[in-house]
Amino acid sequence: MPQVKVGDYLFQRLKQIGITSVFGVPQDNEYALLDLVFTNDLQFKGNPDELVASYAAGGYARVKNYGAFVTTFGAGELSAYSGMAGQYTEFVPVAHIVGYPAVTARKAGFIMHHTGGDSKYDTYRKMSTDITAAVTVLDNPSTACAEIDRCLNTMIYESRPVYIGVPTDIAYAAVFDNSLQIPLALELSQNDLELEHIVISELRTWMETKMKPAMVVDGNGIRNICVKEINELAKLTGFPIFVTAMGKGIVNETLPNFGGVYGGAASHAEVKRTIATSDALFWFGSFLSDVNTGELTSDFDKTAFIGFQRFSVKISNQMFDVKTKYVLRALIHSLQRAPLHRKTGSKMAWDPYPERDISPHGPLTQDFMWHALSDFFQKGDYIVSENGSSASGIGTTRFAKGVSMYNQTISGSFGHATRAAVGCFQAIKEDCGRYGRGILVTGEGSFHLTVQAVADMLRFALKPIVFILNSADHSVERLARDKTADYNGVAVYDYSAIPQAFGSAHQTQYFGPIKTAEELTTLIGNPAVRGNDCFTIIELVLVQVEAQLSVSIAGAAVDEVDELHKQKPSASSTQGT
Amino acid sequence: MPQVKVGDYLFQRLKQIGITSVFGVPQDNEYALLDLVFTNDLQFKGNPDELVASYAAGGYARVKNYGAFVTTFGAGELSAYSGMAGQYTEFVPVAHIVGYPAVTARKAGFIMHHTGGDSKYDTYRKMSTDITAAVTVLDNPSTACAEIDRCLNTMIYESRPVYIGVPTDIAYAAVFDNSLQIPLALELSQNDLELEHIVISELRTWMETKMKPAMVVDGNGIRNICVKEINELAKLTGFPIFVTAMGKGIVNETLPNFGGVYGGAASHAEVKRTIATSDALFWFGSFLSDVNTGELTSDFDKTAFIGFQRFSVKISNQMFDVKTKYVLRALIHSLQRAPLHRKTGSKMAWDPYPERDISPHGPLTQDFMWHALSDFFQKGDYIVSENGSSASGIGTTRFAKGVSMYNQTISGSFGHATRAAVGCFQAIKEDCGRYGRGILVTGEGSFHLTVQAVADMLRFALKPIVFILNSADHSVERLARDKTADYNGVAVYDYSAIPQAFGSAHQTQYFGPIKTAEELTTLIGNPAVRGNDCFTIIELVLVQVEAQLSVSIAGAAVDEVDELHKQKPSASSTQGT
């Protein structure tokens, strides 16, 4: 029976599930393993630091379903944990491959570097269990293949990250490759058909009989890969359909029944009213978190809530053990064969995008900028949006059909976007034709967290358009708290010098600083800007302490809560009394 | 009884132990708390990302004894864990203050951002227990002061990092400030004097009777703040004294009995022989890890080993429960009153620095560079050295009296140096007069991990001299493994553009690329370079695939181990047989 190395087996499995680029930071404990990336005909896309590697793998997974990256044990892997935790939260299937010290060295109790200076080797593996769906350290060649398969199958099944430790003396151990012929389980197991019929019938009844049905699409809608089904359902039912901050980009906004963004109290009045009065709320992949609900200000009838998650459908108070993907497919099939009797599908009575002051003159405002970007975005764009102002603002832009995007609403790690963009845009490049331009929208504070990722975009010959929103500090943070606080000051970069600093050999262009509405209008009309022929930075300088509506409202909500805390500490607030 | 806010109490405690700058990344959950940094008359030195904040606090602690930084819960704190683990390993007392979501929100089970998208709030606190000496989340104002004191006292006592979570609704809770009058315990409790006498007597006997005594100073010598005592002992005994890679900078190298660096098989032949044949090895703050021992090639008589640690002294096979600091003080006192009868203290028979080719002509080699830097370093310098080539190389340089340095040998996190330099140089600035120039020595791959830290050095008006060792890839990594491997390629920066990109408003200077021995000689003679009037980058371009002796030896050792693993996987290496 043919033999392969343990490392070969791992990389062959990654290839089988569509991964062609592996990210990571080359360091000790991984060299021998990294040699096998190449011999297994994968690309290694090395990154400057582990958090870039982690998020790059996540961005890659969002486009190509799965991602992988390699770090060294200890100091290296720990630097990636924030990314892993984010992927765990947001259901992004990424394999974190960790180069471990040799089993022989560990068994001998040697004190190796990257440890706690002791002979304990289990600390980091244990820590990882809280932020991954499965963990293994391949200490035994005879179980290595089974362990790799267990972890990767869990990653796929749960759509969550996993941790695979590969000791230096195991990476090259010979194992039989026979199980490579058995594919990993890429599809969820089928539903109990009887139960599925009950659910479909129940859903149809709600759809037929309720007076004010509506649909809300949240982040887990895309993480569970139901984008096509959700859009099909929107067409077939004609029910008003909304997205949350995290769901933006999932729904085709040119549908007549697209109603805009729902974000609790921060929503458009008509959107708020529709949700508050709905008697049948079909809510896909909900994450009822603070940021996703206008600081927990969602107001709707809980008994009208029909929640669709990866492994369950909840109808009012009843939970059904069925997978949403198959339920939606069956429901669509049912609706195609026997359409709803009710008449729905008229155009929304309101403009799904907020009214704003879009006067094309004067200093650049957030309102005008987001309006202008609505015209800039086009079919095929894949937008990675930073959290904070960028995420709030982009929620208010109008997307043409075929514009994709994501942000990281729940995990909410600042800096994720620039890091993730490396992998996301690499994936777009590999999937040539499916997407067009890669667009990164980031505030400057967030960009500063990880500016070194620019060098990767340059040397991987990615050609994104990078919008840097410069308000000389973290605008959403300032709005949320304090208009002037000194601690929010960030460094003053010269963005025009960034491409030179990080890769002068590459073709790049810089436009900016754009300070007025007129300048932005001219810029957006420039074909050199609209193309994606080279790495492009566009620096937008926004009027200070000014943001668009939803951010201001969210900020006001935070203000209120904070003030409350300052004035009224909890009851047991004095010591010793 | 006067009341203060919980946040006030925390920051007053930090002030009491000499902290004047608090590092961190301002984000939600910490704003109210950060306001109190200022009102308590501390400086807030905001950083671009959490790993810079964490290491900056560590660098600050290495100079000013203690450090502190603030991050937000979840995504923010996780990004700092690699730094915390490093500080745990290397006994650096740093308080990680984490802005937690409100107790009220957590008790209500709200799904907040930065969580796992669920209502679990305990995950990260639990993870932190493995990399800190104490953990608390201040959920109750009535115990908050006691918890703060418990954590800070543990941090001081164990010289290790701690984790203090401050929920948004607790930061402003009113507490009585009476316990602020009771100082934190800055000194270790005294030894049992009887036991201490026994140890002193035993140590004196070894010192008097052994034929070939020697001293080795490792990293924990400085972490336990015994630098003065160790140097005094070196003078009083005259025993040959050596430093490990991690101990470099602790011993006054102008002492006649200074014998150079001990690194196992990689050491100078005379050093190796002295250690191997010693019958009384006084080893201070030992970390017998791989990197510190020439890849575990240390060869000495274990029964001759006398190990001094923070809380113990081990003499041959006998362990004594005494604190080294007091033992050393008492030993010094004893030796001053009654000097040893033996005659020691003659100059070493060898040059403690390796012989190398220091021909001042031709392309710049590592050998010539380290030789030249020996002349560049001067009294008052505080050098932060990166791991890898930088650490190995700097071990071979000659330090004038009064040159301080550290690297991060055991934790071995690449990128630590540039991050730590922010805090280290800030501390030097605050301690004006005690140190002179701040010098950062880093390879370029390590610098790329965290180049954004440059912006902090600029806006905090730090004026370090930054040596960037450019060999167009990670040289120690390549030497260790593969001379050409593609995965080791790093981005090609234009270092002359870095100051412009990160802070064009500040005065800076760039020298380079320095490619020949002649150019380096000229450079080092230039008073503008030697001063520390402004932020200075010096780019040294080294001959490819060439490093000085000790690195090459370490590399060869790693090669050997790796080859062994490739060829001979462990016995149970075939599957199913």
Distance CA B142, CA B174 (A): 9
Distance CA B272, CA B298 (A): 8
Q: Is residue A193 exposed (0-12), middle (13-18) or buried (19+ Cβ within 10 Å)?
A: exposed
Q: Which residues of B touch A295 (CB under 8 A)?
A: none
ipTM entry: 0.90
Identify the top-confidence range among A571-575, B66-70, B514-518: B66-70
Please report which helix (H) or strand (E) contains residue B126, including its range.
helix B123-128
User: What single-letter amino acid sits at B478?
Assistant: R
Q: How far is B201 from chain A (nearest CA, A)?
A: 30
The verdict on B289 touching A (C-beta cutoff 8 Å) is yes
For tokens 């008697």, the residue is A279
Distance CA B118, CA B125 (A): 15
B508 vs A228, A560, B168, B220, B419, CA distance in Å? 55, 44, 40, 36, 19
In DSSP terms, B536 is beta-bridged to B465, B509
The verdict on A2 touching B (C-beta cutoff 8 Å) is no
Instruction: Mark yes or no for CB contact A75/B82 under 8 Å.
Output: yes
Which residue in B has a C-alpha nearest to residue A49's C-alpha? Answer: B449
Q: Which residues of A touch B176 (CB under 8 A)?
A: 574-576
B301 vs B163, B228, B276, B306, B572, CA distance in Å? 40, 27, 7, 11, 34
At residue A112, the pLDDT reads: 64
Question: Residue B178 pLDDT more than 70?
Answer: yes
Give A80-104 pLDDT, tens digit per residue. 999 999 999 889 999 999 999 999 8
Instruction: Mark yes or no for CB contact A411/B123 under 8 Å.
Output: no
Q: Which residues contact B147 (CB under 8 A, 6 or more apart)?
A: B136, B138, B164
Distance CA B11, CA B23 (A): 12
Structure tokens at A513: 């600083």
Percent above pLDDT 70 for chain B: 86
Per-residue pLDDT tens digits of chain A, which is 577 residues long:
679 999 999 999 999 999 999 999 998 888 889 999 999 999 999 999 999 999 999 999 999 999 999 999 998 999 999 999 999 988 999 999 999 999 988 787 766 666 666 767 889 999 999 999 999 999 999 999 999 999 999 999 999 999 999 999 999 999 999 999 999 999 999 999 999 999 999 999 999 999 999 999 987 766 667 889 999 999 999 999 999 888 898 899 999 999 999 888 778 889 999 999 999 999 998 876 665 665 556 788 889 999 999 999 999 989 999 999 999 999 999 999 999 988 766 778 888 887 777 888 899 998 899 999 999 999 999 999 998 777 778 888 999 999 999 888 777 788 899 999 999 999 999 987 889 999 999 999 899 999 999 999 999 999 999 999 987 644 444 445 444 445 557 888 999 999 999 988 899 999 989 999 999 999 999 988 888 889 999 999 988 654 444 444 444 444 444 454 454 443 333 232 2
At residue B475, the pLDDT reads: 45
The per-residue b/e assignment along A512-550, b for 16 or more CB within 10 angstroms, e otherwise, is: bbbbbbebbeebeeeeebeebebbbbbbbbbbeebbbbb
Identify the top-confidence range among B143-147, B245-249, B258-262: B143-147
Question: Residue B451 pLDDT more than 90?
Answer: yes
Question: Residue B25 pLDDT more than 80?
Answer: yes
Q: How far is A555 from chain B (nearest CA, A)?
A: 11
Nearest to B500 among A173, A413, A497 (CB): A497
Which domains, and CATH codes, for chain A?
A: 3-181 (3.40.50.970), 193-337 (3.40.50.1220), 366-560 (3.40.50.970)
Instruction: Mark yes or no for CB contact A103/B570 under 8 Å.
Output: yes
Give B332-365 pLDDT, tens digit per residue. 999 999 999 887 767 788 888 877 778 888 999 9
Nearest to B78 among A85, A489, A495 (CB): A85
Instruction: Mark yes or no for CB contact B492/A477 under 8 Å.
Output: no
Give B381-413 pLDDT, tens digit per residue. 999 999 877 777 888 899 999 999 988 877 778
**Contact assessment for residue A538 and residue A514, using Cβ atoms and an 8 Å cutoff:** yes
Distance CA A530, CA B433 (A): 55
Mutate to test the interface with B, among A34, A38, A82 (most CBs of B within 10 A): A82
Chain A residues 103-162 with CB within 8 Å of chain B:
103-104, 110-117, 123-124, 126-127, 130-131, 140-142, 144-145
**HSE value, Cβ hemisphere, 13 Å, CA-based, for A238:** 11
Distance CA A262, CA A412 (A): 18
Give B305-339 pLDDT, tens digit per residue. 999 999 999 999 899 999 999 999 999 999 999 99
Strands (E), A101-224: 134-137, 162-167, 174-176, 213-217
**Contact assessment for residue A216 and residue A186, using Cβ atoms and an 8 Å cutoff:** no
- Going by pLDDT thresholds of 50, 70 and 90, the confidence category of residue B207 is very high
At residue A486, the pLDDT reads: 53
Q: How far is B344 from chain A (nearest CA, A)?
A: 34
**Contact assessment for residue B128 and residue A558, using Cβ atoms and an 8 Å cutoff:** no
At residue B531, the pLDDT reads: 84
User: What single-letter amino acid sits at A490?
Assistant: V
Handedness of CA A81, A83, A87, A89 (dihedral sign): positive
Structure tokens at B14: 């930090």
Structure tokens at A366: 């957030």
A378: three-class secondary structure by DSSP: coil
Chain A residues 58-97 with CB within 8 Å of chain B:
74-76, 78-79, 81-82, 85-86, 88-90
List the one residue out of B487, B508, B483 whose CA is nearest residue B498. B508
Q: Is residue B176 exposed (0-12), middle (13-18) or buried (19+ Cβ within 10 Å)?
A: middle
**Neighbour count for residue A129 (Cβ, 10 Å):** 12
User: pTM surpassing 0.95?
Assistant: no
Nearest to B141 among A495, A502, A569 (CB): A569
Distance CA B67, CA B54 (A): 9
